[in-house]
Amino acid sequence: MSQTSHFSKSVMRIVLALIGLILVLVGSNTHFNLTNYPPDTLVTVNGYPITQSALRNAEKRIQSNSSDPMNPDDREFLLQRLIDDELLLQHADDLDILTTDPGIRKLLVRSSIDSIIEDSRSIPISDEQLRAFYEDHKSVFQRPGRIRLKVASFSNPEMAKDAREIVKKEVPFKLAIADTKIGELINIPSSLLPEHVLRRYLGSELAAVALSLSENQISSPITLGEFTYLIYVLTKEPEQQLSFDDSRLQVKSEYRSRHRQNALTNALTHLRKHADIRVDQSFLHQLAQGSKKNDL
């Protein structure tokens, strides 16, 4: 009986000691590094190795313009610098500088993205792949429709009507406007303009009217606010499908761009899948309610 009791006490002590040890290990900040350092490790700093190749790289950076080897004293000094750097890096990590400094966070994000899309930069693309991509995404490789026009503004709608009648009698638009002495030509480039550029110059309403006109056609007077406008279309070039050969560079660039985007999306999906992510849904709900109130 006494032997059994002694045995169970011993087992209990061992179990408690193990639990205590686990608690200490879990609670401490100690990083355990097994001694699987790279074979060319020169020094370890709190378990982190500084290798001979790291020292050589540092040497190359310092002596980038010199072919002479570094003397032993300088090399020793450089090693000390690498040890100091490592201590500072570890200290920065302890102080959470790596995760809280916005500039460093940006660089870390950039570095991750670069390593994810690295393959997309160098991946060889065959002609067949490019042609298949072109066929599947033909609409991307179209030259948008372009238009060349003149637009005049009038402070008096009646003068706009008169000017329109003059233009209809085959008087050049510019002369007809000058004849009214009130109308003014709006300053827009005289080259062919694609739709999105036209919108930027005229706004969406006038651009829509301009796009609905045919070549050599003049619009009816359009009154917007205090002014009335006349639009005269000089040239209209329809949307054009570019051939594969004409758009080869564009196809290649688009192919790489989509490849990069896919690589990033896949990597983020993978990271999400393997991360422990918890969201405070009740807060989001409150925020959504608050945001709606603010918008009202």
Partner 1 sequence: MISENKLSPNYRSIALLFIGSLIGISSLFLLPNKLLGYDQGAVAQINNAVIRKDEYDRAIALFRGDKRGPITDADLNLVLRKLIEEELLVQAALRNDSPRKDMKIRQRVLQTLLTSIQTRSAAGIGDPSQSAGEDLKFYLNQLRDSADIQMLKKVSDNILVTSEID
Q: Indicate the SS3 state at residue 104.
A: helix
- Residues 22 and 46: their CA atoms lie apart, in Å, by 22
Cβ atoms of residues 155 and 181 within 8 Å = no
User: Interface with partner 1 includes 279 (CB under 8 A)?
Assistant: yes
16 alpha-carbon distance from chain centroid: 54
Q: Which amino acid is at 121?
A: R
Residues 28-87 contacting partner 1, CB under 8 A = 37, 40-47, 49, 52, 55-56, 61, 69, 72, 75-76, 79-80, 83-87
DSSP string for 24-79? HHHHS-PPP--S---TTEEEEETTEEEEHHHHHHHHHHHTTT--SPPPHHHHHHHH
Residue 49 has phi, psi (to 5 degrees) of: -80, 140
- The CB-of-46 to partner 1 minimum distance in angstroms stands at 5
Alpha helices by DSSP H, 144-214: 157-168, 173-180, 195-212
Among 12, 14, 25, 132, the residue binding partner 1 under the rule CB under 8 A is 12
Residue with smaller CB distance to partner 1, 136 or 280 = 280
Tell me the per-residue interface mask from 241 to 270 with partner 1, x by CB under 8 A, - otherwise. --------------------------xx--
Residue 194 has phi, psi (to 5 degrees) of: -75, 165
- The CB-of-8 to partner 1 minimum distance in angstroms stands at 9
Among 14, 23, 224, 234, the residue binding partner 1 under the rule CB under 8 A is 23
- The CB-of-196 to partner 1 minimum distance in angstroms stands at 17
Among 103, 124, 225, 238, the residue binding partner 1 under the rule CB under 8 A is 103
- Residues 246 and 257: their CA atoms lie apart, in Å, by 19
Tell me the per-residue interface mask from 150 to 189 with partner 1, x by CB under 8 A, - otherwise. ----------------------------------------
Residue with smaller CB distance to partner 1, 122 or 281 = 281
Place of tokens 């300053």: 187
Residue with smaller CB distance to partner 1, 5 or 126 = 5
User: Interface with partner 1 includes 280 (CB under 8 A)?
Assistant: yes
Among 29, 122, 276, 293, the residue binding partner 1 under the rule CB under 8 A is 276
- The CB-of-37 to partner 1 minimum distance in angstroms stands at 7
Residue 101 has phi, psi (to 5 degrees) of: -75, 120
CA angle 107, 95, 97 (to 5 degrees): 15
Residue with smaller CB distance to partner 1, 60 or 131 = 60
Residues 107-126 contacting partner 1, CB under 8 A = 107-109, 111-113, 115
